[in-house]
Chains A and B, each alone.
Chain A
């Protein structure tokens, strides 16, 4: 099977500090993958490399065989770990902006999700709470018909009920051929919806396995294993 995402000997150094070291990773279509690791392990660096916000020091990243650029961005929907929208705009304006910008953006789906979460599209973004802003950002990312979704800490600031709704939306709403890469610390909440997990440690892949392989082999949850591997 050809890779949707392919990292070869991927290395990123910031001056003297090595953030990612010789990463080799293949993700195929149709999977939900957890990117797990302690703070500073290289998760966000990897995500930024996939989205062209950083360039590799050595090695390469490819999406569907393309170098990172216009062709890769067409099929990758990226949710950064920080807010990036103009706070003074109404949500409906932001939606039309996304709709103009991305040809795969599904406005109807975005409105439906806003409705389900009780978010008024006439509201200006700055009038919303932090958690509600995060929901808006996630809705925007998930409303594209992308092939690879890259979500950096998507549910951290969201209450548990909305988290359930969002995870359910991910399960029912995404195209079966799409792959979702989610970085998170909230392993327990998403463990059951993941196919596979990647543990990053000191910029290297410590483990890449399916959730059921880990449970079968270790007799424990991914969350428990994480706490053991990364015990402080």
Chain B
């Protein structure tokens, strides 16, 4: 099944986000080997050069690294992955607060709603 990519944003950025999410959510573990560019491109149903570009960018940030002969691996730096997880979580919170603001909710109204929602689950 092809990855669900939106049609109005650059593909390589969406690939980066998707792989970051896969790392943070534990689909890929620290130190694990990534599939080849070609396999990932086929899985995502995207152009291999675009996949290559996304992986190079992930490499530049240090989240993945290349071992010259054997392929690409997820970083073994667990602290880096934890840091990314927190960064992504903060972005989600910001997005959420922005939508709540558009609905005219104040922060002090939002917190009780979250607590209530958690309790009824």
Partner-B contacts on A (CB < 8 A)? 30-32, 164, 167-168, 171-172, 176, 188, 191-195, 211-212, 215-216, 219-221, 223-224
Across the two chains, which residue of chain B brings its CB closest to A30?
A: B49
Instruction: Contacts A168-B42, A171-B42 given; indicate if A176 touches B11 (C-beta within 8 A).
Output: no
Query: Which residue of B7, B12, B13, B45 contacts A193 across the interface (Cβ within 8 Å)?
Result: B45
A195 contacts across to B, CB distance below 8 A: 47, 49-50
Instruction: A148 to B121: give the CA distance in the assembly, Å.
Output: 57
Q: Contact check, B46 vs A193: say whether CB atoms are below 8 A apart.
A: yes
Q: Contact check, B46 vs A221: say whether CB atoms are below 8 A apart.
A: no
User: Is B64's beta carbon under 8 Å from chain A?
Assistant: no
A220 contacts across to B, CB distance below 8 A: 7-8
Q: Contact check, A215 vs B45: say whether CB atoms are below 8 A apart.
A: no
Instruction: A172 to B48: give the CA distance in the assembly, Å.
Output: 9
User: Is B85's beta carbon under 8 Å from chain A?
Assistant: no
Q: Give min CB distance, A4 to chain B, whole Å.
A: 15
Q: Contact check, A215 vs B47: say whether CB atoms are below 8 A apart.
A: no
Query: Which residue of B7, B45, B49, B53 contacts A168 across the interface (Cβ within 8 Å)?
Result: B45
Q: Give min CB distance, A170 to chain B, whole Å.
A: 10
Number of chain B residues close to chain A: CB under 8 A: 20
A32 contacts across to B, CB distance below 8 A: 47
Q: What secondary structure prevails in chain A residues at the interface with B?
A: helix
Instruction: Contacts A188-B7, A212-B10 given; indicate if A171 touches B41 (C-beta within 8 A).
Output: yes
Q: Give min CB distance, A198 to chain B, whole Å.
A: 15
Q: Contact check, B8 vs A221: say whether CB atoms are below 8 A apart.
A: yes
Q: Give min CB distance, A80 to chain B, whole Å.
A: 25
Can you list 6 A-B contacts (CB < 8 A)? A171-B41, A176-B38, A188-B7, A192-B46, A193-B46, A212-B10
User: Is B89's beta carbon under 8 Å from chain A?
Assistant: no
User: Is B9's beta carbon under 8 Å from chain A?
Assistant: yes
Q: Contact check, A215 vs B49: say whether CB atoms are below 8 A apart.
A: no
Instruction: Contacts A212-B11, A220-B8 given; indicate if A167 touches B47 (C-beta within 8 A).
Output: no
Query: Which residue of B7, B13, B41, B42 contacts A191 across the interface (Cβ within 8 Å)?
Result: B7
Q: Contact check, B8 vs A192: say whether CB atoms are below 8 A apart.
A: no
Q: Contact check, B8 vs A211: say whether CB atoms are below 8 A apart.
A: no
Query: Which residue of B7, B12, B42 contacts A224 across the interface (Cβ within 8 Å)?
Result: B7
